[in-house]
Amino acid sequence: MKLKQYFTKAWTGGISLIKGLSVTFSYFINPKKIITEQYPENRKTLKMTPRFRGQVIMPHDEQGEHKCTACSMCERACPNGSISILATKNIASKRVLGQFIYRYDQCTLCNLCIEACPFDAIEMGPGFENAVYDRSELIMVLNKKEGR
């Protein structure tokens, strides 16, 4: 290798090293810039981004009730049959939700059911730790009394 080539390579290598170390040093003096999550150590404080699609959930309103009217729009919108709406009738013979069955084991998290719901009764929740030994544990009833 010619002497000129040797010094050129040594120079560009040195510049590259300084660039890399400057990034490391900037994170060292300003740790708030670090976006790497220390999972699972930060499990208690970990917050997923608002648009994260973990699983379909059915939140309660201010009165502790679900907004679902058992209209079945989400069931029809779901492309792979992950939702079953089991409707029933209340004391006034009005159609109401009996059970909202959600098959998380086959859900593709496509969000179509959320978009189809005219009452904003379901949304994508942030949960993601759902490893189970038995797939049947991923078949859930989403409508529950608040606190259960």
DSSP letter assigned to residue 72: -
Residue among 27 and 53 whose Cβ is closer to ligand SF4: 53
Interface positions, 3-42, toward ligand SF4 (CB under 6 A): none
- Please, are residues 85 and 141 in contact by the beta-carbon 8 Å criterion? no
Q: What is d(CA 147, CA 64) in angstroms, rounded to the nearest whole number?
A: 9
| Candidate list 71, 96, 101, 140; residue touching ligand SF4; CB under 6 A | 71
Residue among 27 and 72 whose Cβ is closer to ligand SF4: 72
Q: How far is CA 25 from the centre of its chain?
A: 33
Task: Name the site residues for ligand SF4 (rule: CB under 6 A).
Answer: 56, 68-74, 77-78, 80, 82-83, 85, 107-113, 116-117, 119, 121-122
